[in-house]
Chains A and B, each alone.
Chain A
Amino acid sequence: MDLMLECIDLGFQYRDKIVFSHISFQALPGRFCAILGRNGSGKTTLIHCLNHILNPLSGRILVQGRDLASFSRNDIARTISLLPQEQIDIFPYRVLDVVVMGRAPFLKIAARPGEKDYTIAEEALRQLNAQDLSHRNFNRISGGERQIALLARCLAQAAPIMLLDEPTNHLDFNHQYHLLSTMGRLCREKGISVVAAMHDPNLAAMFADEIIMIKNGRVMAKGVKEEVMTEENISALYDMDIQKLRRNAETFFSPRDISLNSQL
Chain B
Amino acid sequence: MKSGTVIIGLGNPQLSDDGVGIAVANEIARRSELDDLTLLELNGGGIRLMEAMAGYQRAVVVDAMLTGSEPGTVRRFDPDDFVTTKNSYSSHDTDFGTAFQAGLLLGIPLPELVSFWGVEVLECGVFSEELSDVVAAAVPLAAELIVNELKNSEVMR
Are both chains from one complex?
no
Residues of chain A at the chain B interface (Cβ within 8 Å): none
